[in-house]
Each structure stands twice: as structure tokens, then as C-alpha cells.
């Protein structure tokens, strides 16, 4: 539940920030249209267009859909890339629960004296598999993503174990 709640808060905060950026951009377009047009022209110049072409593109796109153009090209926001807080929370909660079930099952099935090493190995394998799966799904470099997920997962386990040791809690 905490993963889902955290994801909801995070995505909601991002959404609030994006909405505030759009409000500011809308206001800037009304209050200082020439400065905003100059900003847009500069963006297109940085992308390699000539001054004349960049200016023409900026004028035409602004005339067609000023706020949409500025939000997309100046702020880098896209309707397609905006996450839904509830969908993100559900996905995060379900993914976390499913992934957490694997080491939990390993703990239940492991012989008494081998619980910690079995859970550790199963967890690392699960982290590696999920890192690779996520990278493949996102068309990202598999090795880098896998190492990142395993490294941070092992780090989190070590910190958790260290805190448990400090408080005299053991498995």
C-alpha cells in the first residue's frame, strides 16, 4: 500500500507542477506575446533552423495553437506523456506486491537455517529479472538497468538489515 500511496503522491505532485507551468505559460503568452515568440524562435534556432525559418515556424505554430506549441516545445510537456496518478498507483502497488511475493515465498519454502541466504539469492535474481524486463519493455540498455536495480535493491536490503541489527531485530 505504501508503494501505491507514494507513487500516487509523486505523480500527483508532478501533475500539479505541470499544470502550474501551463498556467504560467498561458499568462506569459497573454502578457508578453513578443517575448514568448522570441523564445520559441530561439528554440527552433537551437534545433538547427535558420533564423528566417525558425521565425516563420514559430509564428505559424503560435497562430495555430499558441499554448499547445509553447507547452510542447518550450516546456517539453506532452499530453501523451502525462501520467495518471491512480493508474500509476495501481501499477506500482500491484507490481510491488507481485515482486515482493517471490522472496516471501522463498522464505516460507527455505529450510530453517538457510532462510537468509536463500531469500538473499532469490531476491537478487528477482531484482535482476525485473531490471532486465523493465529495460526490455522500455527499449533501454538491459545491462545498465539490471545493474542499477540490483545495486539499489541490495543497498536497500543492506540498510534495512543494518537498521534491524541496530535495534536488535533479527530473522
pLDDT at 171 over 70: no
Domain of residue 9, residue span: 2-81
For the chain, count helices (H), then strands (E): 6, 0
| For the chain, the helix, strand and coil percentages under 3-state DSSP, each to the nearest 5 | 85, 0, 15
* 77 and 117 both lie in a single domain: no
* 74 and 117 both lie in a single domain: no
| Long-range contacts (CB closer than 8 Å, 24 or more residues apart) made by 91-94 | 91/7, 92/3, 92/4, 92/6, 92/7, 93/1, 93/3, 93/4, 93/7
pLDDT of res. 81:
60
**What's the pLDDT tens digit per position in 34-66?**
999 999 999 999 999 999 999 999 999 999 988
* 10 and 68 both lie in a single domain: yes
pLDDT of res. 95:
84
* 116 and 58 both lie in a single domain: no
159 in a structural domain: yes
91 in a structural domain: no
Report the number of distinct structural domains present in the chain: 2
8 in a structural domain: yes
pTM for the predicted model, two decimal places: 0.60
35 in a structural domain: yes
Asked if residue 62 lies in contact with residue 40, where contact means CB atoms within 8 angstroms, the answer is yes
Amino acid at each position: 500500500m505504501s508503494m501505491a500511496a507514494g507513487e500516487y503522491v509523486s505523480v500527483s505532485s508532478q501533475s500539479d507542477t505541470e499544470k502550474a507551468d501551463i498556467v504560467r505559460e498561458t499568462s506569459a503568452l497573454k502578457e508578453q506575446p513578443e517575448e514568448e515568440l522570441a523564445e520559441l524562435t530561439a528554440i527552433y534556432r537551437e534545433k538547427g533552423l535558420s533564423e528566417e525559418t525558425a521565425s516563420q515556424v514559430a509564428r505559424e505554430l503560435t497562430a495555430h495553437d499558441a499554448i499547445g506549441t509553447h507547452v510542447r516545445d518550450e516546456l517539453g510537456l506532452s499530453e501523451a506523456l502525462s501520467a495518471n496518478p491512480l493508474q500509476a498507483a495501481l501499477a506500482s502497488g500491484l507490481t510491488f506486491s507481485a515482486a515482493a511475493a517471490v522472496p516471501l515465498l522463498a522464505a516460507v519454502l527455505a529450510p530453517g537455517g538457510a532462510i537468509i541466504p536463500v531469500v538473499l539469492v532469490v531476491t537478487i535474481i528477482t531484482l535482476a529479472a525485473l531490471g532486465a524486463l523493465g529495460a526490455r519493455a522500455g527499449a533501454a540498455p538491459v545491462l545498465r538497468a539490471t545493474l542499477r536495480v540490483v545495486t539499489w535493491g541490495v543497498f536497500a536490503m543492506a540498510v534495512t538489515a543494518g537498521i534491524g541489527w541496530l535495534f536488535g531485530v533479527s530473522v
